[in-house]
Structure 1
Amino acid sequence: MASMDEYPVTKGSEEEIPLDKFSFSSDDSSGSEEDQFLLDEEIATQKLPPVDRGAGAWKFLFGCWLIEAVLWGFPLAFGIFQSHYSQHSLFNTSKNIPTIGALAVGISYLGVPLTSPITLRYPQYHIHILFFGWALCILGLVFASFATQTWHLILTQGAMYGVGWVVCYTPFLIMLNDWFYDRRGLAYGILFGASGVSGLILPFALEALLARYDFRITLRMFAIIAILVSGPSFLLIRPRIPVHLQHKAPSPSGPPRPYNFLRNPLTYVFGCSIALQGLAFPLPPTFLPSYATALTLPAPSGDFLLALNSLAQVTGQILLGHFSDNVSTHLPHSVSSLITGLAVLLLWGPARGIGSLAAFAALWGAFAGSYSVSWTKIAARMAEGEDEGRRAAATMTLYAWFSFERGVADILAGPISSVLLGSDVRVGEFGVGKWKGVVGFCGGVLLLSSMGGLGWFWERRGRWGR
């Protein structure tokens, strides 16, 4: 794939494309030798838009932001649908309703290692792949609106939507890496902040629509809204490398050569830190509303805490993204885990009122919610040891496996919390008694995750090279 990582980053307004970077087969053009000569002249003089700035980069980022806000924000608000379905006459006897949301979110994490190599192999079809995934999400909503049994919802609103999102998501991440390099962390922070913004709006909007119209009309209305809001994004999303200069990656002549990062111990330090953080990540937002209820706080307290978490997440993702662009790759993820681990043990566990819970929700949103922003800089850093032509693929491969780890950890977090959850509420005790095990587990794994930052000292001493 012709990618940002394959060309030197220039600070000028435009960048020359070296002619020898591209090799056209006989299928790439047709016509006379004169036509071929003109095509070669065009390639030789072609200019690329600037990296990290300029109208093209920011328009691309805004287009992706709109899609992320609408399509990824929807499954993250599934709790509203779960409450509605559990009381609906068609589905209230089923115990499989949580599977719908779990599939929509889980496939999005677990599927990236499958979609990445395919998407990287066909760079000239990135926009087509993105549109196909987008359309699959819309169709999943429409088909779900005709459901009469729970398995219909599992297949459409769950699996179909999850597959659609991961297919849509993968190409725009790859193209985003072409548009941003030095400011890639900031770009990812802005992009991931989209779901935090929609998290402030969608739960309340969906709850109001479900209360008034039932799930069928609500799903169809949201499908129309998604088309109207995110559809125009396709006018903004353009690859930095022109399509006619991109080619399918050549098939390897022999067994694929292993990536160099697999021999670097730091890869596994980062991987363990990400896995440990993922075990704690879904638990506090899941239990905060129930925790507030156990403390006999006013009824809207749970919604307020989740909204505060989403608001802090937006700010945290942008700030942590900018932070990751300017410091060692070891620091952002380590600082994030350390602060959230201490917040769990010092604020959530001993909480007796809304003040402590609000402070915890804000810190959790700002630091835990922004944790995944650091993945792209970690992946790019570890890919620096690869040959120049393999760096883009190595970066996306590492990012895909970090995403896979998060998906597995999210799945494991559910049964782990079920084992740790107590049965009795005892106000005055740590974790109100019932959540004592969950709070202790979250704090412990987060502090362990933060120790991954010690790799910085080893690297500085030259023990672990790039």
Structure 2
Amino acid sequence: MSLDLPPREGEETPDRGLAAWKFLFACFVIEGVLWGFPMAYGVFQEHYSQQSEFANSSNIAVVGTVSTSIYFLGAPLATPFVRRFLCWRYQMVLLGAATCILSLLAASFASSVPVLIATQGVLYGVGFLVIYFPLLSMLNEWFIQRRAFAYAIVYSGGGLSGIGLPFLFDWLLSRYGFRTTLRIFAVAQIILLVPILPLCRGRLQAPPRTLTQRIDRAFVKHPLFWVLAASNLSQSFAYYIPSLYLPAFASSMGLSGPVGALMLAALNLATVLGQLSFGYLVDRPSNIFMLVVVTGVTSSVATFTLWGLTRSLAPLLAFSLVYGLFSGAYVVFWPRFGSMLADDPQPVFSWMAFGKGLGNILTAPIAESLLRDSMGVNYGLGRFGPLVIYLGALMLVSSLGGLGWLASSRGQRRGDTQ
């Protein structure tokens, strides 16, 4: 079928209509197919470590870290680039999708870890960066009043694929090896993406010529931005700890290997439900600062109690569900943060994503250093005690983003007097 951008006679109405929901469905599929792959890298990492050509390398984990971090860290650069070339957004989507697919095919021929890092890591991450920010730019056109909920639906695509893909990849890798598995999934991406790519068009007609549009950075002068940025950074430096260490924790409790996969599946499922629920609430006339407090405090309490004091499967499963439900919802606040601080929410969103990227890179080394200092008491099974305390403390600090209410009120008073 043709991938040419379909013509349109006029602008559509935002937040409703078949065209808006078609676009949202396309974003949901793209998120699930493209972002779900690096989210399941842990299965590949385990497989690669058992292969003779990769077994002696200590950098296998870098592949997964790079592929996910490029999207976050590249956000402040991608946002002005997309804004500069609005009329080329559809072509960026096609280029990004093709780059992701080609990176998997190239990785299937790898015989060393540096080649894996360059293909499955760097090239895949760049491809996702190229496709994702044009889509977010279009999403902000299609959804205004229901923007947070629309973002939540998109994010749920990655969460749902994160539930099933690890099991699928585990089966494929054990049966066919990594080369054939990568090629199979590349073909699957082609089959799933080609039919929906023509739906990826903006609501507004882009100018026929490329125009230089200055990005409003006045938000950096507002105290509210720095309060929210600090809250986001605190959350980001702790968020990934359960997904990295719940399987190891379950193993230390003497639970079987599949229990670790069950914990991650429960975490991902709860994250999807939390993002949808809080995305709906954010779009209502509710206090966003109260939602920040609720997610941070609840995640902190669940960490200190359900995880730190657990001695059996039931509390550990409860922690996975509660933590995923509340902490996983934080990212749906980003669009609302952006709309509170600027007419165009994308620049604020990009800096929040950058903070998430820093956390994505630094969480593992920080956590590994904490695991070297086991506690004398049996809290967190002793070995994981410092890690549990670190996670709970940072989640509690992230709830201080609720103080943004004071910064927001102060900023409004200043505006009234000027």
Q: Which residue of 1 aligns with 2:264?
A: 306
Q: Give 1:369's match in structure 2, choosing from 310, 324, 328.
A: 328
Unaligned stretches of 5+ residues in structure 1? 1-42, 384-390
Q: CA deviation at 1:291?
A: 0.7
SS of match in other structure, 1:280: coil
Deviation digits for residues 37-79 of structure 1 (CA, Å, limit 9, x no counterpart): xxxxxx9xx6421111110110000001111101000001000
SS of match in other structure, 1:51: coil
Instruction: Tell me if the contact between 1:329 and 1:381 (Cα under 8 Å) persists in the aligned partners.
Output: no
Q: CA deviation at 1:247?
A: 4.2
- Partners of 1:80 and 1:119 in 2: CA distance: 34
- Partners of 2:92 and 2:337 in 1: CA distance: 26
Query: Where do 1:83-102 residues align within 5 Å?
Result: 83-102=46-65
Q: Which residue of 1 aligns with 2:306?
A: 347
Q: CA deviation at 1:457?
A: 4.2
* Structural RMSD (CA): 1.9
Instruction: Tell me if the contact between 2:374 and 2:386 (Cα under 8 Å) persists in the aligned partners.
Output: no
Q: CA deviation at 1:271?
A: 0.3
Q: Give 2:84's match in structure 1, choosing from 92, 107, 121.
A: 121
Q: CA deviation at 1:250?
A: 2.9
Deviation digits for residues 185-204 of structure 1 (CA, Å, limit 9, x no counterpart): 10000000111110111101
- Partners of 2:12 and 2:25 in 1: CA distance: 16
Q: Give 1:330's match in structure 2, choosing from 274, 289, 296.
A: 289
Matching residue's letter, 1:278: S
Q: Give 2:315's match in structure 1, choosing from 356, 364, 367.
A: 356
Instruction: Tell me if the contact between 1:142 and 1:223 (Cα under 8 Å) persists in the aligned partners.
Output: yes
SS of match in other structure, 1:351: coil
Deviation digits for residues 220-274 of structure 1 (CA, Å, limit 9, x no counterpart): 000000111122111322211134x55422366xxx8x63212210010000000
Change (3 A) 1:458 1:353: same
Matching residue's letter, 2:316: L
- Partners of 1:330 and 1:62 in 2: CA distance: 29
Q: Which residue of 2 aligns with 1:445?
A: 394
Q: CA deviation at 1:329?
A: 2.8
- Partners of 1:282 and 1:188 in 2: CA distance: 20
Query: Where do 1:312-323 residues align within 5 Å?
Result: 312-323=270-281
Instruction: Tell me if the contact between 1:351 and 1:357 (Cα under 8 Å) persists in the aligned partners.
Output: yes
SS of match in other structure, 1:300: helix
Q: Which residue of 2 aligns with 1:417?
A: 367
Matching residue's letter, 1:363: V
Is it true that 1:295 corresponds to 2:253 in the alignment? yes
Change (3 A) 1:460 1:242: closer
Q: Give 1:264's match in structure 2, choosing from 213, 218, 222.
A: 222
Q: Which residue of 2 aligns with 1:16?
A: none
Matching residue's letter, 1:313: T
Matching residue's letter, 2:50: Q
Q: Which moved more, 1:296-305 or 1:456-465?
A: 456-465
- Partners of 1:297 and 1:464 in 2: CA distance: 56
Q: Which residue of 2 aligns with 1:398?
A: 348
Query: Where do 1:63-462 residues align within 5 Å?
Result: 63-243=26-206, 245=207, 247-250=209-212, 259-326=217-284, 327-383=286-342, 391-392=343-344, 395-422=345-372, 429-460=378-409
- Partners of 1:457 and 1:114 in 2: CA distance: 31
Q: CA deviation at 1:455?
A: 2.2
Q: CA deviation at 1:432?
A: 0.5
Q: CA deviation at 1:461?
A: 6.7
Instruction: Tell me if the contact between 1:422 and 1:437 (Cα under 8 Å) persists in the aligned partners.
Output: no
Matching residue's letter, 2:379: F
Unaligned stretches of 5+ residues in structure 2? 1-7
Q: CA deviation at 1:454?
A: 2.0
Q: CA deviation at 1:460?
A: 4.4
Q: CA deviation at 1:297?
A: 1.9
| TM-score, L = length of structure 2 | 0.93
Q: Which residue of 2 aligns with 1:40?
A: none
- Partners of 1:155 and 1:229 in 2: CA distance: 25
- Partners of 1:186 and 1:274 in 2: CA distance: 19
Instruction: Tell me if the contact between 1:330 and 1:452 (Cα under 8 Å) persists in the aligned partners.
Output: yes
Matching residue's letter, 2:100: C
Matching residue's letter, 1:409: G
- Partners of 1:194 and 1:322 in 2: CA distance: 16
| Structure index of larger Rg | 1
Instruction: Tell me if the contact between 2:67 and 2:121 (Cα under 8 Å) persists in the aligned partners.
Output: yes
Instruction: Tell me if the contact between 1:273 and 1:452 (Cα under 8 Å) persists in the aligned partners.
Output: yes
Change (3 A) 1:251 1:192: closer
Change (3 A) 1:368 1:247: farther
Q: Which residue of 1 aligns with 2:4?
A: none
SS of match in other structure, 1:232: coil
Deviation digits for residues 315-356 of structure 1 (CA, Å, limit 9, x no counterpart): 111111111111123233332111111110111100111111
Q: CA deviation at 1:298?
A: 3.0
Number of residue pairs the alignment of both structures matches: 407
Change (3 A) 1:460 1:211: same
Change (3 A) 1:454 1:251: closer
Change (3 A) 1:335 1:465: farther
- Partners of 1:133 and 1:312 in 2: CA distance: 29
